[in-house]
Structure 1
Amino acid sequence: MKSIFLFIGRIILAGSFACLCAAPFLFNAATLVLLTQALSMLTLAMLWNLVAGYGNVGVIGQHAFVGIGAYAFFGFAVLAGWGLAVAIPAAMAVTLVFGIAVYGIIFRLRAAYLAVGSWVVAETIMLVASRLEVFGGGSGMAFPAQILKMLGQRPPDRIVTIYLMALVVAIATFLLIWALMKSRIGLGLAALRDSEEGAAVAGVNTRLVRAATFILASPLVGLVGVLSTLQKGRISHIASFSMLDWTIYVLFIVVIGGLGSLEGPIIGTVVFFLLRELLQDYGAFYLIALGALAIAISLFAPRGLWGLARHKFGGDIIPLTHNPK
């Protein structure tokens, strides 16, 4: 039963990957927009899972780095007139600097204090962004047409380009986390996930590991902000720094799928978007259903849907063995 379960899971994963690669040839523009959103959320979920699920840094201010990436990219591409090939890595560098600064502020906090502290920092940055008149202040600004045309002359071409960018970012993020988890650092992260005290006794530098995961994730989260703002064609402090879109939904995805696993964010993203498409026409009941499901999973399956399946069938769909070299 175990081998059959893992075989079917790997076949589904491989088939989904092939389908995503061929999506521009298979689906219309509306579906590609939806898939782009799903890939962006998956990337954020994988990164938050790395920080909170493995690094044990329970932040709820991830939306700050999405907004910083979006605003920095807008500044470099529109205000400074840099090309996309330079503006995108520059925006990631700015987000990295902010990541180091924010961690320097909150690294002494733990548990609820860490969560609240990270949220306060994120909201403060959002309020500062809303006062920046050069970025449109509280109203935001749209990208000039010539910037968007760098992605394609026609809207359908731009949709395909942004989708492919989101796909590459999601794949690169997954491979980076997978390689990290197979290294010595990954062994320390796995120990930290299971028991912080035990990891410290075993010689893991818990402070360094936490800092590494938080700082490593920040520029990639900023890159998702770049993709999001390109897809929307504008920046605004409300959308770019949206706690609901970039933090709350991401937490839901990871909790539902399974915290501290590679498979969890993938499963959680699929469940979230299926529920969103099925229930979004029901107004407030949509959010109520999401909240009720999250509470039920937290109470009866704290390891998430993947943790439940793994306990029943055993093994991992995505092989993960640590290389001591």
Structure 2
Amino acid sequence: MTLSETLTSRAAAAVDVSRAARSSKLSALVMLAAAVTLGALPFLVFAKVTDTLVNLFVLIALASMWNLLAGFGGLVSVGQQAYIGIGAYSVIAFADQGVQPYLAVLLAAVTCAVFAVPTSWLAFRLRGDYFAVGTWVIAEVYRLLVVRVDSLGGASGKSLSGLSGIDQTLRGALTYWIALGLALASVAAGYLLLRGRLGLSLMAVRDEETAASSVGIDVRRAKRLVYLVSAAGCGAAGGVITVSSLSVNPDAIFSVQWSAYMIFIVVIGGIGFIEGPLLGAVVFFALQQLLSDYGSWYLVLLGAVGMAAALWLPRGLWGVVRDRTGLSLFPVGYFVRTRAADVDSH
């Protein structure tokens, strides 16, 4: 063996490359315990607490889908409320046909993915700011189409059928569990997608689309896939909103306010981090609970917080945590471990 081969062998023996650092493995156990605890909450607390947490889980799912779309795919949309509305009305329509509403939530996700295919053909003809505005216009078109369908209640909306025979306590617990499942599935879906080749492709497209295309990445396919996943997640969230509120109103469910919530949460938490929507949703949810009694000042304060975060925390709260501690709860890159320290190669 030559001297260079010997040095290379010793260097390789001193370096361990893995997909997770020790802190990530420990945090995974903590998150698993937290998920189990959250799953048991209907047996431990009053229904009012779990009913409130349903809103938090919906926000986590929506923000995770928007972060996947914009933070990793570079597709800044302000029209994801289109799929929230389609998902909500899909649950209403399936329930009217005799489908159990909780099962209809899953079918609503599939329905939104189907709707997203032709919608993406139109939306992807636009770039940058035009794409953002175009998605909002598309959402408005879907709203106008829905209000013209009398069987869906028209402009006044419609109540959900199919849950009246279920005990109220059991219904609240089932709604809580499906909302929790949606939040966990949204985070897990983003994590699994980003750990593979698609994740590398998406981040390459986000950073420089032309360069990504020049090295053989199918840009349109990567964008369309992440767009369909985001649409399905938002549709399922719309379905959960319907089974939680037991009714739907077109102006409320198709409101651009939903996109504003998603953007606010991701900006606060940290765009481009899987952990960002989780932290941002908790902060936003806490602000909602604390400031909701202040009337219009509630919106003013939320706006002030959002502007402050955009100016002084461009990477969000999780970006600050990551820079200071190196902690990654959902590592999608590789870690190079030496005897001295763990260094993230990405």
Q: TM over 0.5: same fold?
A: yes
Residue 86 (structure 2) aligned to one of 40, 43, 68: 68
> Are 2:171 and 1:148 aligned?
no
- 1:161-211: CA deviations, max 9, x gaps? 000011112212222211111111112123334444443344322222111
Residue 182 (structure 1) aligned to one of 168, 187, 195: 195
Residue 17 (structure 1) aligned to one of 35, 40, 43: 35
Percent identity between the aligned chains?
A: 36
Q: Superposed, which structure 2 residues align to 1:120-269 within 5 Å? A: 120-144=137-161, 147-149=162-164, 152-153=166-167, 155-244=168-257, 246-269=258-281
How many angstroms apart in 2 are the aligned matches of 1:20 and 1:101?
Answer: 38
Q: Report the CA distance shift for 1:259/1:124 in structure 2 as closer, same or farther (over 3 A).
A: same
Q: Superposed, which structure 2 residues align to 1:74-153 within 5 Å? A: 74-78=92-96, 80-84=97-101, 87-144=104-161, 147-149=162-164, 152-153=166-167
How many angstroms apart in 1 are the aligned matches of 2:100 and 2:28?
Answer: 40
- 1:261-297: CA deviations, max 9, x gaps? 1110000001001111111111111111111111111
How many angstroms apart in 2 are the aligned matches of 1:301 and 1:216?
Answer: 28
Query: Structure 1 residue 132: deviation in Å?
Result: 1.8
Query: Structure 1 residue 8: deviation in Å?
Result: 8.5
How many angstroms apart in 2 are the aligned matches of 1:226 and 1:261?
Answer: 26
Partner amino acid, structure 1, of 2:163: L
Where structure 1 has 5 or more consecutive residues not aligned to the other structure, the ranges are: none
- 1:65-122: CA deviations, max 9, x gaps? 01101112211211x2234476444333321121112111110211111110000110
How many angstroms apart in 1 are the aligned matches of 2:32 and 2:233?
Answer: 24
> Are 2:38 and 1:38 aligned?
no
1:37 is paired with a residue whose SS is: helix
Where structure 2 has 5 or more consecutive residues not aligned to the other structure, the ranges are: 1-20, 335-346
Match of 1:303 in 2: 315
How many angstroms apart in 2 are the aligned matches of 1:167 and 1:178?
Answer: 17
Match of 2:44 in 1: 26
How many angstroms apart in 2 are the aligned matches of 1:199 and 1:104?
Answer: 20
Partner amino acid, structure 2, of 1:42: I
Query: Structure 1 residue 7: deviation in Å?
Result: 8.5
Query: Structure 1 residue 14: deviation in Å?
Result: 4.5
Query: Structure 1 residue 9: deviation in Å?
Result: 6.0
Partner amino acid, structure 1, of 2:252: A
Q: Report the CA distance shift for 1:296/1:85 in structure 2 as closer, same or farther (over 3 A).
A: closer
| CA contact 2:104–2:239 (8 Å) conserved in 1 | no
- 1:108-158: CA deviations, max 9, x gaps? 2111111100001101111221222111111111123xx1146x32x2211
1:148 is paired with a residue whose SS is: coil
Q: Report the CA distance shift for 1:299/1:282 in structure 2 as closer, same or farther (over 3 A).
A: same
Q: Report the CA distance shift for 1:85/1:165 in structure 2 as closer, same or farther (over 3 A).
A: closer
| CA contact 2:101–2:163 (8 Å) conserved in 1 | no
Query: Structure 1 residue 57: deviation in Å?
Result: 0.8
Q: Report the CA distance shift for 1:298/1:198 in structure 2 as closer, same or farther (over 3 A).
A: farther
How many angstroms apart in 2 are the aligned matches of 1:229 and 1:132?
Answer: 18
**TM-score scaled by length of structure 1:** 0.89
Q: Report the CA distance shift for 1:318/1:299 in structure 2 as closer, same or farther (over 3 A).
A: same
**TM-score scaled by length of structure 2:** 0.84
Match of 2:330 in 1: 318
How many angstroms apart in 2 are the aligned matches of 1:263 and 1:28?
Answer: 28
Partner amino acid, structure 1, of 2:35: F
1:138 is paired with a residue whose SS is: helix
Partner amino acid, structure 1, of 2:83: F
| CA contact 2:81–2:254 (8 Å) conserved in 1 | yes
How many angstroms apart in 2 are the aligned matches of 1:170 and 1:5?
Answer: 23
The CA RMSD measured in Å over matched residues stands at 2.3
| CA contact 1:257–1:266 (8 Å) conserved in 2 | yes
| CA contact 1:49–1:259 (8 Å) conserved in 2 | yes
How many angstroms apart in 2 are the aligned matches of 1:186 and 1:7?
Answer: 21
| CA contact 1:193–1:260 (8 Å) conserved in 2 | no
How many angstroms apart in 2 are the aligned matches of 1:86 and 1:36?
Answer: 17
> Are 2:287 and 1:287 aligned?
no
